[in-house]
Structure formats: structure tokens, C-alpha cells
Amino acid sequence: DTAVSQTPKYLVTQMGNDKSIKCEQNLGHDTMYWYKQDSKKFLKIMFSYNNKELIINETVPNRFSPKSPDKAHLNLHINSLELGDSAVYFCASSNGQGYNEQFFGPGTRLTVL
């Protein structure tokens, strides 16, 4: 069973479109994250939710809106996609926010044309 799953794995779209990425974890964790990894492999935290509450909101354009319908799901909606949004987006989860391992999903490669 996949611990952290994301859909879709690949997403190719035109500039200006709106798209969503879904994430689900079956580990029973209470904290979930969205990361962006650019072409140089730099990992940047975007958002974090703990028990459906937003706790980390980095300097991210407000075109990006996370939604956590329950503890096991954290979706990412992106409006008005731009070329610079092209990257791999990773969802992750952990048990609490302390010294706890983050488990990453397989990533969603977003390409904006």
C-alpha cells in the first residue's frame, strides 16, 4: 500500500489554466505539507497543515491555494498558471511537527507551456 500518494503524476497544461493536485496519506499522520522542487532540485516548503489547520504558509503567490478536507488529504489548487510554476510538487506527511520523519509522495511533475 502506498503511504503518501499524489495524483496526477504528470501534468502538462497551458499558461493561464487552473489545475489541482491531490494528495492522500494512509499513515494516520496529522501533519501534511506541500513542497516545490525546481529544476535545480531545491526543495522549498510551501504550506503545512496540522489537523486540517494551516500552520505554515510561506511566501507563495496567492494563486496557490491549499485545501485540507480532512487529516488524510491535502490538495493544491493553482490558478492562472505561469511558466515559472513548472516544477515537481511533493506532498509529505508526518506525525506531529516535532522531530518526526516526513514521508514524501512520489511527486507531481507540472509543466506549463
Partner 1 sequence: QQQVKQSPQSLIVQKGGISIINCAYENTAFDYFPWYQQFPGKGPALLIAIRPDVSEKKEGRFTISFNKSAKQFSLHIMDSQPGDSATYFCAASKGGNNRKLIWGLGTSLAVNP
SS (H, E, C) 24-61: EECCCCCEEEEEEECCCCCEEEEEEEECCEEEEECCCC
Q: Which stretch binds partner 1 (CB under 8 A): 20-28, 43-51, 60-68, 73-81?
A: 43-51
Q: Does 101 bind partner 1 (CB under 8 A)?
A: yes
Q: Does 97 bind partner 1 (CB under 8 A)?
A: yes
In the list 28, 69, 84, 98, the residue contacting partner 1 (rule: CB under 8 A) is: 98
Question: What is the binding site for partner 1 (CB under 8 A)?
Answer: 4, 40-45, 48, 55-56, 90, 92, 97-99, 101-107
